[in-house]
Chain A
Amino acid sequence: MAGTLYLFAAFSITWLIIFVYIFSISRRQKTLERQIEKISEALRDRL
């Protein structure tokens, strides 16, 4: 039973780390997309 708990902990933490990293990549990508959008709008206004 204790072995199962350790196994569960190892798999959960591994997947949590991977998902948090994927989430951070996707969040940073969205931030950059918003910045590109802002720059494009600013350029359109100037033109």
Chain B
Amino acid sequence: MTHNRAFLKVFQFVTFFMMLLALYAIFVYAPVEKSMGIIQKIFYLHVPSAFLAFFAFFITFIASILYLYKRDNRWDTIAFCSAEIGVIFCTIVLITGPIWAKPIWNVWWTWDPRLTTTLILWFIYVAYLMLRSVAGENRRSNFSAVFGIFGFVNVPITFLAIRLWRTIHPLVITGKGINISTPMIHTLIIAFVAFCLLFFWLLINRIGLEKMRLKVEEIRASIEDKIHLEHEKQGG
């Protein structure tokens, strides 16, 4: 337990340090892009957030399969927590994208395949979270596991949207490499590492919280059962 806490503290410190380093790289180290200007720096928030939203939904997908296969509640907890954090990162993508688009495309939003599929992806996982909150205790895990598996179908579609259809969304990372200068690549890598650490830190904390909530519910239910039994004995 103490080791876990110490590990979390170190992890938290490293994440914080990497976040500061990422901010330094974004605002000081990375050059200003010639055609877009300073607004291009949104890219260092937008791209890692998009990657982590996809990654979070992939974890939900794998954990949902493992839950249905093993019937172990721990996988259900991981699937749920990862989906919640995925929605947070997907929200960041859907907000930073239009903020970048307004000065560059002159519109906040356009029904481009990448933008549309990302919005659908966000709706799917918001629906997943809503389903969990309204479904009954015994059905919740099964329903959401099935939803978590089928919902993932939209992730490769969203990822490939800029390759499959004609789109105005920039294609920076291609099979031939990354179409930006070397300091920009370094900055992107630092931002990726910082956001990945933030993602895992959030995931560890969220899973810990969910486990605690389930434990409290379990203790409360067993106490209520005992009280009920005592009342029955006294009545009989």
Interface residues of A (CB under 8 A from B): 2-4, 6-7, 9-11, 13-14, 17-18, 21-22, 25, 28-29, 32, 35-36, 39, 42-43
Number of A-B contacts (CB under 8 A): 64
Q: A24 to chain B: closest CB distance in Å?
A: 10
Beyond A13-B99, A14-B95, 20 additional pairs, beta carbon < 8 A: A3-B39, A6-B100, A6-B102, A7-B38, A7-B41, A9-B99, A10-B42, A10-B99, A10-B100, A13-B92, A17-B88, A17-B95, A21-B88, A21-B202, A25-B205, A25-B206, A28-B213, A32-B209, A35-B216, A39-B223
A26–B209 alpha-carbon span in the complex (Å): 9
A10–B45 alpha-carbon span in the complex (Å): 8
**Residues of B contacting A: mostly:** helix
Interface residues of B (CB under 8 A from A): 37-39, 41-42, 45, 49, 88, 91-92, 95-96, 99-100, 102-103, 198, 202, 205-206, 209, 212-213, 216, 219-220, 223
